[in-house]
Structure 1
Amino acid sequence: MWHASGYLGLFASAFGAATLLPLQSEALLVALLLAGQHAAPALLLVATLGNVAGSALNWVLGRYLEHWRDKRWFPVSAERLAKVQGTYHRYGRWSLLLSWAPLIGDPLTVVAGLMREPFWSFLLIVAFAKAARYGVLYAMTLGWA
Structure 2
Amino acid sequence: MDEQSSLLALFTSSFLAATLLPGGSEAVLFGVLKAYPQLYWTALAVASVGNTLGGMSSYAIGRFLPDEKALMQKSKGNMRGLVWVRKHGTPILLLSWVPLIGDLLCVAAGWLRVNWISALAFMAAGKFMRYWAIAAAMSP
- By the TM > 0.5 criterion, same fold? yes
**Could you give the per-residue CA deviations for residues 60-108 of structure 1, whole angstroms, max 9, x where no partner exists?**
000111269649xx8423x334x64333212222211111112211111
Alpha carbons 2:109, 2:119 under 8 Å: kept? yes
Match in the other structure for 1:119: 116
1:130 maps to 2:116: no
SS at match of 1:12: helix
Quick one: structure 1 residues 75 and 9, their matched pair in 2 at CA, closer, same or farther if it must change by over 3 Å?
farther
Structure 1 alignment gaps of length 5 or more: none
Partner Cα separation in structure 2 for residue 99 and residue 54 of structure 1: 11
* TM-score of the two chains, using structure 1 as the length reference: 0.85
Match in the other structure for 2:101: 104
What one-letter code is carried by the residue in structure 1 that aligns with 2:40?
A: A
Structure 2 alignment gaps of length 5 or more: none
Partner Cα separation in structure 1 for residue 81 and residue 43 of structure 2: 34
Deviates more, 1:83-92 or 1:18-27: 83-92
Partner Cα separation in structure 2 for residue 121 and residue 99 of structure 1: 13
* TM-score of the two chains, using structure 2 as the length reference: 0.88
Match in the other structure for 2:22: 22
Quick one: structure 1 residues 115 and 43, their matched pair in 2 at CA, closer, same or farther if it must change by over 3 Å?
same
Runs of 4+ deviating beyond 4 Å:
none
Deviates more, 1:103-112 or 1:128-137: 103-112
Partner Cα separation in structure 2 for residue 46 and residue 87 of structure 1: 28
